[in-house]
Chains A and B, each alone.
Chain A
Amino acid sequence: MQKQNRRDFLKTGAMLGTAIAGLSSNKTKAKPKEILSEDRMGVLVDTTVCIGCRKCEWACKTAHDLPTSPRDTYSDRSVFKKMRRPNEKALTVVNEYPNPQNASLPTDVKVQCMHCDHPACVSACIVGAMSKQENGSVIWDTNKCIGCRYCMVACPFQVPSFQYDKALNPKIMKCDFCFERTKQGKLPACVEACPVETLTYGPRSELIRIAREKIKRNPDRYINHIYGEYEAGGTSWMYLANQDFAKLAFPNPGDKPMPGTSESIQHGIFAYFVPPVSLYAILGGIMWITKKRNESEQEKSL
């Protein structure tokens, strides 16, 4: 360390520069798939229509090969006593809330991944295992995931869940918008199973138009708010309701995309590697100068 000379210093510096130039060219490609297609699909959930039959829960489990009790058992309404959340065993669940307009007709709300337009999980994932697909689905890649659970920390809707009981190959479990089914032209399992047309599957832009129309035609039936149109920067799944969404246990993440701040900090620090390389150069300069100064002081003192 003491024997360093100017030539070594420059040589190593040049090597570092080349290495970084190589790195940064890779870096531009190093982003998970995050397409925001104009024709991306979505689902409009009309909570005023839902009867809480939970057939969507059964259909979802069946479509994803998850263990399930027989279809008839889903008519049991005692599960509504406790609020449930989607987890590693059920990717979608229905909860029931009191209806201020008609006490005998409670409001039922289906919950699953919202499939954000700017998903926090996609931005957060260390290996890019989460991706936003062209049809709007946010899906998870088992071949990349390391199980760090940062997606769960990042998600504003607290949706991804983890198989804590598995010692080997635990998975992140969440609704995948039936990516495999829709690829074959089929409907998402829950949409297909719904007997009362609570769920409308279609292009997101079209769904917003339909939702606005519904609100306009039935101003008594709906509050003037499409949850998911702007929440967290917009989501593929959107909801209509007859009461404030906060009362139906929807979080309020704000209208800005969740990854905004963190990504601008991240990209600020690593703007083409300029800040780190400049820091390196400055430190190198200081090292060189103080060393020279120490040497000349030593010479003087002799």
Chain B
Amino acid sequence: MRNYLKPIPIQKKFFTPGVIVVAIIAFNGLVFLAGRFFFGLGEVTNLNNQYPWGLWIGVDVAAGVALAAGGFTTAALSHVIHKEEYNVITRPALLTAMLGYTFVAFGVSVDIGRWYYIWHPLIFWNGSSALFEVGICVMMYLTTLYIEFLPVVTERFIGSVKLKGFISFLNKPVDKLLRILDKGLAKVMFFFIILGVVLSTLHQSSLGTLMIIAGPKMHPLWQTPILPLLFLLSAISVGFPMVIFESIIASHSFGIKTEMETLSGLGRMIPPILGVFLAFKIGDMVIRGTFVYLTQFNLQSVMFIIEVLFGAIIPLRMFLSEAVLKSKVLLFIASSLVIFGVLLNRIDSFIVAYKPPYSYGAYHPSFGEISVTLGFIAMLVLAYRFIVINFPVISLPNKNYMIQTKFKIRGN
């Protein structure tokens, strides 16, 4: 069956009423962003000297990086372990990762006070800084993701370069160039795929190291020396749920058939990964004896329980059930729960758990901060839609391709 599938541009109109709503949310975010650039961070955000990091770092950056983990987990699955039946989901996952990290980069550049110095870590190095590690790895990984996506671009334009007017003479050379590029990329791509996986494991974990230096300023339920490991494990466990989540949304939104067979297969792999994460999370709590903090009733204990119960335990049980794996709705709910859990964990780690010694009052994100965060998500959705309409990302059944593929396989 799967040989029928071939990535092609989706034949849909870009604008629908829903898309216009998303565009309005994106525009609203841009208005507040303009405020940030003209009047400074203080004008738009609720950040202060006690709470230097807020929603933008917690959600746009930390959660953004974690939720883009579908890229490296599927790359590892289909290209490193060579489970080729999952090839159909690698391109959408790659696209999400590429866009996700692009917006992480935007998120960082609007949050840092001197955005025009964002390149400084390239020349001023501090090897002992976890943030330096994250910064360099994210820059390298973003480049790697663009390189991994290049074949999609060459595939789209090879044989269909149609420049108009006086530059039309360039059509042939450009086409030739694309073919050379495509061939070259095919030869070296394995290097970038492994590099992408290595860079991901490095910065996903270092993102956890970030808060360790805050020491007693971070609530003991979250402050643990194994934070990097927990961050890495939770990122790996959110990878496949994220792919399931976006596949179901994309197929629903474009009115195409959901590849349930592939998605159930992915769902089946989630319990062991999520189980390992949960074991470390609970084990760490037991060993450090931090469960005593759960007996206190406050924001931190409630958030921790929600995070573990709804973000890990319930979805773990759900993914173990065959009925859930067969049902599109239940699979979607279970995946959404894992995503919710990781999102909440990043918000908890960077905002809820952070208790500065002299705070005058808790930090709440301002309307401007929320607008910008929603605006970035809206822009990401629009970019995703634009790219899948114009580039071969999502695989659809294709009869002509079937015959070709059969020949190819026999020929090899």
Among A150, A262, A267, which residue has the most Cβ atoms of chain B within 10 A?
Answer: A262
Sort chain A's interface into a size bin: 35 or more
B217 at the A/B interface (Cβ < 8 Å)?
Answer: yes
The answer to whether A165 has its CB under 8 Å from any CB of chain B is yes
B18 within 8 A of A: no
Interface of A is mostly: loop
**A87 CB contacts on chain B under 8 angstroms:** 49
Residue of B nearest to A157 (CB): B357
**CA A161 – CA B201 in complex, angstroms?**
33
List residues of chain B with CB within 8 A of the CB of A170: 40-41, 113-114
Q: Does A156 contact B (CB under 8 A)?
A: yes
Q: Do B213 and A165 touch across chains, with their CB atoms under 8 A apart?
A: no
Binds B, one of A57-65, A178-186, A221-229, A246-254: A246-254
B42 touches A165 (CB 8 A): yes
Closest Cβ of chain B: how far from A299's Cβ, in Å? 9
Q: Please, how many angstroms separate the alpha-carbon atoms of A204 and B335 in the complex?
A: 57
Chain A 272-301 interface 0/1 with B at a Cβ cutoff of 8 Å (1 = within): 000010011001101100110110001000
Q: Decide if the interface of chain B is mainly helix, strand, loop or mixed.
A: helix
Nearest A residue to B83 via CB reads A290
Complex contacts, B52 vs chain A, CB 8 Å = 149-150, 152-153, 162
Residues of A within 8 A of B39 (CB): 165, 167
B213 touches A258 (CB 8 A): yes
CA distance A2 to B129 in the complex (A): 38
C-alpha spacing A283/B200, complex, angstroms = 13
Interface 9-residue window, one of B130-138, B289-297, B389-397: B130-138
Q: By the criterion CB–CB under 8 Å, are B117 and A85 in contact? A: no
- Asked if A153 and B214 sit within 8 Å, CB to CB, the answer is yes
Q: With A123-B129, A124-B131, A170-B41 as given contacts, are A261 and B121 in contact (CB-CB < 8 Å)? A: no
Closest to A127 in B: B124
B19 on interface, CB distance cutoff 8 Å = no
* Distance A85 CA – B111 CA, assembled complex (angstroms): 24
User: Who on chain A is nearest to B350 by CB?
Assistant: A153
A244 to chain B, nearest CB (A): 16
B126 within 8 A of A: yes
Contacts of A258 in B (CB 8 A): 213, 215
Answer whether residue A106 sits at the interface, using C-beta atoms and an 8 A cutoff: no
Give B124 Cβ to nearest chain A Cβ, in Å. Answer: 4
Residues of B within 8 A of A (CB): 36-43, 45, 47-50, 52-53, 76, 79-82, 84, 108, 111-115, 117-118, 120-121, 124-133, 135, 186-191, 193-195, 197-198, 201-202, 205-206, 209-217, 225, 228, 354, 356-358, 409-410, 412
